[in-house]
């Protein structure tokens, strides 16, 4: 009896047209509804395969290319970060060089000029693993590196100009080793080799053979030569720019007081005179009458003067 039931579909138009009625057996309506749902499900499940079939695999290729692009972008991002680390090391050396030549540090606001901006706000709203996010990050890093490179070029030009203005500046800086040989004792606190007590070692000990030539480490004028209970035979040079150097435990002094010297001139020979426990040179550097670590002024290659 239920199979004979009918359904009626009433269509009410927006206009003043007559109301229309559609109807038929209930079983037919249910069949049409189930058919529509079935077709919709098949289309939903198989749409990807249907699209892939009709576009010849282009969608799959695009997905693979997207994965490869993301991987390359991430590798490029790591490379840009590595360049950033190297740039920071270069900036540190540039700052040290500016200090040595007497130039002031570049103001932090100038270094930060042009870094950051609206791109960073955009990146915050994107997923960190999306190609767009990585591309924006690389773009920002490259912008920052470009700004820093341009600033470094300007700074290096300023350093060069400052150095050229004072051609004698470097000749009067004690920036080389006075004798060839290994460092046997560093500047700073140490155990005294004679008493065993902790005390300040105000210079640098360089082990060398007896009679090895000792050379002036910068241009200047000899202001003291003589014999001291601690230093033994020693020479002291005034470099006429606030720097002084002292060379102790010499076996012989080959220069006279008040003599003007050039970097590399021989001033004496290695010995073990005075309070010494072996053949070596005791070398001290003073800046404005304050003793400092000599290694802070050696060239990077730690070379001996020719």
The predicted structure's pLDDT at residue 264 = 93
The domain 172-297: what is its CATH number? Answer: 2.70.70.10
pLDDT tens, residue by residue, 136-179? 877 777 787 788 888 888 888 888 887 777 777 788 999 899 99
pLDDT tens, residue by residue, 3-31? 566 666 666 676 666 766 666 676 666 77
Paired tokens of 92: 């540190």
Cβ neighbors of 195 (< 8 A, separation 6 or more) are none
Q: Model-level pTM?
A: 0.47
Domain boundaries, the chain: 2-54, 78-165, 172-297
Cβ–Cβ < 8 Å for 283, 176: no
Cβ neighbors of 95 (< 8 A, separation 6 or more) are 105, 106
The predicted structure's pLDDT at residue 117 = 47
Alpha carbon separation from 225 to 39, 53, 126, 212, 228 (Å, rounded): 107, 96, 73, 18, 10
Q: What percent of the chain shows pLDDT beyond 70?
A: 75
DSSP letter at 14 equals S
Query: Could you give the CA distance from residue 135 to residue 73 in angstroms, rounded to a whole number?
Result: 7
How crowded is residue 290: how many other Cβ atoms within 10 Å of its Cβ?
8
Helical segments of the chain, H only: 26-54, 58-101, 108-112, 118-124, 131-165
pLDDT tens, residue by residue, 211-245? 999 999 999 999 999 999 899 999 999 999 999 99
The predicted structure's pLDDT at residue 45 = 65
Q: Which residue reads 């304050």 in tokens?
A: 290
Could you please report the per-residue DSSP string of 212-267?
-EEE-SSSEEEEEEEEETTTEEEEEEE-SSSEEEEEEEEEEE-S-TT-EE-TT-EE
Q: What is the mean pLDDT of residues 250-277?
A: 94
User: Please, what's the largest Cα pairwise distance for the chain?
Assistant: 135
Angle at 293 between CA 287 and CA 298, to 5 degrees: 95
Cβ–Cβ < 8 Å for 274, 280: no
Alpha carbon separation from 200 to 10, 177, 203 (Å, rounded): 106, 21, 9
């Amino acid at each position: 009896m239920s199979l004979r039931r009918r359904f009626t579909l009433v269509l009410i138009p927006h206009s003043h047209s007559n109301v229309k009625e559609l109807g038929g057996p209930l079983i037919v309506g249910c069949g049409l509804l189930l058919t529509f749902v079935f077709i919709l499900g098949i289309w939903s499940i198989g749409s990807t395969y249907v699209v892939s079939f009709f576009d010849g695999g282009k969608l799959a290729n695009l997905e693979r290319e997207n994965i490869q692009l993301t991987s390359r972008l991430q590798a490029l991002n790591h490379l840009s970060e590595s360049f950033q680390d190297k740039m920071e090391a270069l900036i540190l050396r540039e700052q040290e060089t500016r200090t040595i030549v007497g130039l002031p540090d570049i103001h932090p606001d100038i270094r930060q000029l042009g870094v950051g901006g609206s791109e960073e706000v955009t990146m915050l709203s994107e997923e960190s693993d999306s190609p767009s996010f990585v591309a924006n990050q690389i773009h920002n890093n490259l912008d920052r590196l470009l700004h820093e490179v341009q600033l470094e070029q300007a700074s290096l030009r300023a350093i060069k100009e400052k150095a050229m203005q004072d051609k004698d500046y470097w000749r009067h800086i004690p920036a080389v080793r006075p004798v060839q040989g290994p460092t046997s004792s560093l500047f700073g606190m140490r155990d005294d080799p004679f008493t065993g007590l902790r005390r300040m070692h105000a210079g640098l000990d360089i082990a060398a053979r007896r009679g090895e030539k000792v050379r002036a480490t910068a241009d200047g004028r000899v202001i003291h030569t003589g014999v001291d209970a601690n230093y033994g035979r020693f020479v002291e040079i005034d470099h006429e720019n606030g720097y002084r150097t002292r060379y102790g435990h010499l076996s012989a002094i080959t220069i006279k007081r008040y003599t003007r010297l050039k970097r590399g001139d021989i001033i004496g020979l290695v010995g073990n005179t005075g309070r010494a426990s072996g053949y070596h040179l005791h070398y001290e550097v003073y800046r404005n009458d304050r003793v400092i670590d000599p290694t802070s002024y050696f060239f990077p290659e730690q070379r001996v003067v020719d």
